[in-house]
Amino acid sequence: MSIQESLKIIPQNGENEGIAVVEFDLVGEKVNKWNSATMTRFKEILGELQKSKYKMVLFKSNKPKIFIAGADIDEINSMTTKDQYEKAVGEGQNIFNMLEDLPMPTMAVIHGACLGGGCEMVMACDYRIASDASETRIGLPEIKLGIMPGFGGCVRMPRMIGLQASLDIILAGKSVNAKKAEKMGLVDRSVHPSLLMDQAFRYAHELLRNGAKKRRKTFRPKGAMNQFLESFAGKPLVFSQATKGVMKMTHGHYPAPLKAIDVIRRTYGMSNRDEALRIEREGFCELAQTDISKSLIHVYYLTEMVKKQTGVSNANVKAKDVKHLGVLGAGTMGGGIAYVGADKGIDVRMKDINMEAVGRGMKHASDLWMKLVKRRTINQYDYKQRMSLVSGGTDYSGFGQMQVVVEAIVEDMEIKKKVIAETAKYCRPDTIIATNTSSLSVNEMATAHPHPENFAGMHFFNPVDKMPLVEVIRGEKTSDETVATVFELSKKMGKMPVVVKDGPGFLVNRLLLPYMAEAAFLLQEGMSIETVDKAYVKEFGMPMGPFALMDEVGLDVCIKVLKIFKKSFGARIEMAPCMEKLSTTGRLGKKNLKGFYQYSPEGKRQEVDQTVYADLGLSSPNNPLPTKECIERGVFSMVNECSLALIEDRIVETAHEVDLAMIMGTGFPPFRGGLLKYADRIGTQYICDQLEIYSAKGAARLKPNQPLRNLAKNNSKFYK
């Protein structure tokens, strides 16, 4: 079938005569998207409509959950020169101008994802009606790819919904549901999905009866404050606050939101459409050529890759459809796991040793949903519906129907093995039991299960509701079906799964511990906690520094896992003397409100606790090292360890999985593309040379490992 079948005009008959419906249904694709072929065809459609006598034109999608998902990322990524971007973006702008300038009124009939170029297209229509289905989301996510709207989004959206609402969407790459879009004026009406086309025709007839005209919808602020902020005097304040907000969030590492602010500031209220679009086009082209955009597009591909994977190489293996989930342990982790399961429609049963513990798990899940109610993300009915899917008790009632049980109890091997063996007695023989351990051997735990092929690791990261990564740990006897089921369950819960082999620390903690351990050596050598953490956050782009991270994880946990690593890896793992002494200070980090930092009674991190230096037997810090060395020692420690984990131990199969896991599990800066993308960009030879310099100062732990030496010697990269 040709591209003509993907976009076509359907003249209406009977009572709808005089109205045309343009149907978008990209042949051979699950989603509708703008690429060279669809844009060319759309231009042909618009040319036909220009010459027609239709009274009104409706634009709809025939995809079940997609209106238009945006521009084709492959085409954007394939471009390398300014001329290529200029030509593509300019053509897109011209085509949407043609749509805006059609002689008859137009209406977008929106159901499903309407993002990026899809959102820009509907804003070029005169009217918009949308279904209030959960899958309908309207927005401009381009910022997340290191670019900005380029088909008129920065020009048309502020004109339609005002500065504050449009900056909120554009700078964060947000999307909104139909109800919110209607409230802010992005769509004119929202209706039940089953009534969408019927209501669209009714709306069209209503408009025609009232002498429907072309329109460029213009925002009219309500209330004195909003009127002031949209005024000549108030606009500078809005842009100033937006810039401050972006800098606070990004520390200037992401140029796209700053460029978007500049473009909107220069074009808002401009009557010359062509000049406004030229300014937008220039901004887009400038951003699209940056390494940061290329890195963020790389991260996008990493996440898309997971959507297509099953977790196993055998294409004939099918995952079980998990509808009933058991959770052993109703603590913070257990309650969080119950929340993410029930939030996606899975029936969850928690078990703990007493009802008080079960109640805490239920409350944790309830509190997370109540936050969404307060934000008006869900309503009271949604809250009650989700809570009804979570139950709990002190026995194994209901476990006979569970397809998967996740164990999230205390990190003690013997207790875990005892509970796993006991749980298996109350479950079906084919029930999968998955451990949420962060450091213990999955292979050893599997010996307690009567069917070790039905046992795996399912390592969630804390806090479960926020952290997207799940490490799916494959034991020696774990079956393909078990891996595929846990992998698919993770995706169903809204997580990003990465399959890893069993081994100390699995993948993320194995790479993260050398990074945190190196921070302790920096402390030992006279660096201040503030200086090191600030360097990692503001200069390198980590979400928090290593000392803040250790407080979050728990200082007792860090020491325990370091000792496990020391036992497993021997002389390669060193502990700074101050880290050894830490266990005698009673500092556990955030969990007891006493760590490297001080904490409010609510657990909010405050200033560094200056008494920690004396407690650890250290002199007052004098910061003898450059921050470049501090950053390189920590980050290059991770790269060094990764060379062993990936190349020698094959904990994961590809560099892609390492980068996805580090971004989703630790917040490694996405604008750097991931740990190994970053390593490839600066060069394995440089990393190896720097580690040699640092290790020569008496730090044997920093000596380059052989796999990294081999890469440097051959001038090779982690990405083949």
Which residues participate in catalysis according to the annotation?
A: 459
Tally the C-alpha atoms within 13 A of residue 293's C-alpha that lie toward its C-beta: 23
The C-alpha angle with vertex 338 and arms to 334 and 344, in degrees rounded to 5, equals 150
Beta-carbon contacts of residue 545 (< 8 Å; ≥ 6 apart): 519, 529, 532, 533, 534, 535, 536, 537
Q: Residues 359, 390: contact at Cβ < 8 Å?
A: no
DSSP codes, 379-426 = -HHHHHHHHTTEEEESS-TTGGG-SEEEE---S-HHHHHHHHHHHHHT
> Cα 434 to chain center, whole Å?
24
Q: In terms of DSSP bridges, do strands 496-501 and 469-474 run parallel, antiparallel, or are they unpaired?
A: parallel
Length of the chain: 720
Which residue(s) pair with 390 in the sheet?
348
Beta-carbon contacts of residue 385 (< 8 Å; ≥ 6 apart): none
Q: In terms of DSSP bridges, do strands 347-351 and 324-328 run parallel, antiparallel, or are they unpaired?
A: parallel
Side chain identity at 449, as an amino acid letter? H
When computed from its CA atoms, the radius of gyration of the chain, rounded to whole angstroms, is 28
Residue 458 parent element (H or E): strand 455-460
Peptide bond into 504 cis (omega under 30): no
| CA-closest candidate to residue 32, choices 103, 117, 141 | 117
User: What are the strands of the beta sheet with 347-351, ordered from one edge?
Assistant: 390-393, 347-351, 324-328, 404-407, 432-435, 455-460, 469-474, 496-501
Q: In terms of DSSP bridges, do strands 175-176 and 137-139 run parallel, antiparallel, or are they unpaired?
A: antiparallel
Structure tokens given for 194: 């089953």
d(CA 390, CA 604): 29
| CA-closest candidate to residue 186, choices 136, 249, 223, 245 | 136
Structure tokens given for 93: 């702008």
